[in-house]
Amino acid sequence: MDKNTRICIIGGGPAGLSAGMYLEKKGYENYTILERLDRVGGKCWSPHFNGRRYEMGAIMGAPSYYAVHDVEEFCGITHDGPQLSRKYKDQKGHIIEPFDPKKNPLKIPRLLKMKKQVKKFGELLETKYKGYDLNGHRGVAEGRYEGCSQQNADREPVSGENPNLKDLALPFSEFCRINGVELVQDIWVGPFTSFGYGYFDEIPAAYVLKYLDFQTCMNFIKINLWTWKEGTQYIWEQLNEHLKNPARLNSAIEKVERKDGKVYVTVNGEVEEYDKIIVTAPLYIPDKRADGQVGMVDYFDTREDERELFSKIDYERYDVMAIETTKKHHPEISYYVFDNMKRERIGHLMVYYRRWKDSVDQVITTYALRKHKDMPEVPYDVCKTRVLKDLWTMKNPAKKLVNEWSVYYFPHVFSEDYAAGWYDKVEGMQGKYDTFYAGEIMSFGDMDETAEYSRELVERFF
């Protein structure tokens, strides 16, 4: 492709900014990033409170976040934030030690069985499901793998046939059952469901394992994790500052027309002409949102194949609140509430996070899911009331609500559409209509997976 190709990138989150960085590294400098908000970072949002930043979106990274490390190197920054730690409570607010056999003698048989199943699971993933951990979903539904290895930072291209990969279309609970490793869900649920990615009986195993591949999940267990003093948003603010063409904020895109080999974007009332467009913003949002966010199908001249495929996308309703407590009620650490990570407890507090250990004049952030595909959606206000009541139960009641956010979160398709080749159909459309599709839905809804997908997209097509 001509290095002077005019490229429009929609979205100034990790996927869009990374696309700009990787294009620039490859010699493309005629790109424009359009962001509808007044900030960059997308779901990496780190507001200020009492002179420090807290997290309303992404919290952490891991040593296997190679694309995020690319950004760090590009910008000359590093992961310099507070060390993470956690404890556990039951739904009545009692501190528990679910994985300590000395504190749970009656659970020793189950814990020993879990340990064996985790080992077995790791072996299965490396053998029976070889290729499971590649970024993106190309070929999985067809029983093949194609992409870059995630075993180390070199990310060497790999490909092959593996019919067993078709199992990844199954809900994760079913995937574990057929492999005789049901108890690994007790481990994987912490960094998955509590982080807003849905329940194991509804979400295809592919999503769980693209994000929590064995290496990454072990890093979560050992708390071998990264944070950033100025928050995850700082990573993307720094990248934006280091790009030759920083994102244009407050860009309201009213219309996109693709005709005669050109792409015409109407933004803030003005028509701009491009040769190619990369969409990292949502492709489809099934319900009208109060924040005014819409999907690509609402402002593009979308074609029939785009509408048909993108209408299959759903997303999670994941709510985050930042609250103040009194000094007396400030938790000494972050807590996971495993009891509330079950579908029967939808809309309840799953995690609350204390970021700064050396201060009690900071906020605590709370996290709750209020949607399951087979259950009525819990209304926002009902969920909010439940979480505030749960904080009383946890003996860490809120004194004041500082911030709240219910974001369009973790776009995905369900098992039937995954197995029917949804991803291969969309991948087959890459470049058609001079349009490329990236962002969360094409890989997974964490900052590294989205950035890594942008890297591969640039390598494949530019």
Domains of the chain: 7-77+228-313+413-461 (3.50.50.60), 108-221 (1.10.405.20), 315-411 (3.30.70.1990)
Label the pairing between strands 270-274 and 262-267: antiparallel
DSSP state for residue 379 in the 8-state scheme? P
Number of neighbours of residue 305 by Cβ within 10 angstroms? 14
Do 281 and 298 contact (CB within 8 A), yes or no? no
Separation CA 382–CA 389 (nearest Å): 11
Can you say whether the dihedral through the CA atoms of 444, 449, 452, 454 is positive or negative? Answer: positive
Rg for the chain, CA atoms, rounded: 22
| Burial 387-412, CB ≥16 within 10 A → b, else e | bbebbebbebbbeeebeebbbbbbbb
Positive or negative, the CA dihedral 221, 455, 59, 444 is: negative
pLDDT for position 327: 96
pLDDT at residue 289 in the model: 87
Residues 6+ apart with CB under 8 A from 304: none
Cβ neighbours of residue 222 under 8 Å, at least 6 residues apart?
Answer: none
Task: Give the closest residue to 220 by CA, choosing from 181, 176, 187.
Answer: 187
Of 306, 301, 353, give the one whose Cα is nearest residue 332.
353
Are 34 and 40 spatial neighbours (Cβ–Cβ below 8 Å)? no
Q: Which long-range contacts (CB under 8 A, 24 or more apart) does 261-264 make?
A: 261/434, 262/434, 263/8, 263/434, 263/435
Task: Determine the length of the chain.
Answer: 462
Residues near 297 by beta carbon (within 8 Å), at least 6 away in sequence: 283, 284, 306, 307, 310, 311
DSSP state of 362: S
Write down the pLDDT at residue 288. Answer: 84
The residues pairing with 148 across neighbouring beta strands, listed in sequence order, are 157
C-alpha span between 460 and 455 (Å, rounded): 9
Q: First-to-last CA distance in the chain?
A: 6
Q: Tell me how far apart the alpha carbons of residues 139 and 160 are, in angstroms, rounded to a whole number.
A: 10
> Looking up tokens 């159909």, which residue turns up?
425
Query: Residue 151: what pLDDT?
Result: 85
Spatial separation of the C-alpha atoms in residues 423 and 140, rounded to whole Å: 8
Q: Strand 86-89 vs strand 334-336: parallel, antiparallel, or unpaired? A: parallel
Contact assessment for residue 165 and residue 144, using Cβ atoms and an 8 Å cutoff:
yes
CA distance 451 to 135: 10
Going residue by residue through the chain, which has 462 residues, state the pLDDT in tens, using 9 for 90 and above: 899 999 999 999 999 999 999 999 999 999 999 999 999 999 999 999 999 999 999 999 999 999 999 999 999 999 999 999 999 999 999 999 999 988 888 889 999 999 999 999 999 999 999 999 999 999 999 999 999 988 888 999 999 999 999 999 999 999 999 999 999 999 999 999 999 999 999 999 999 999 999 999 999 999 999 999 999 999 999 999 999 999 999 999 999 999 999 999 999 999 999 999 999 999 999 988 888 899 999 999 999 999 999 999 999 999 999 999 999 999 999 999 999 999 999 999 999 999 999 999 999 999 999 999 999 999 999 999 999 999 999 999 999 999 999 999 999 999 999 999 999 999 999 999 999 999 999 999 999 999 999 999 999 999
How many other C-beta atoms are found inside a 10 Å radius of the C-beta of residue 355? Answer: 21
Strand partners, 274: 263
364, 333 contact by CB (below 8 A): no
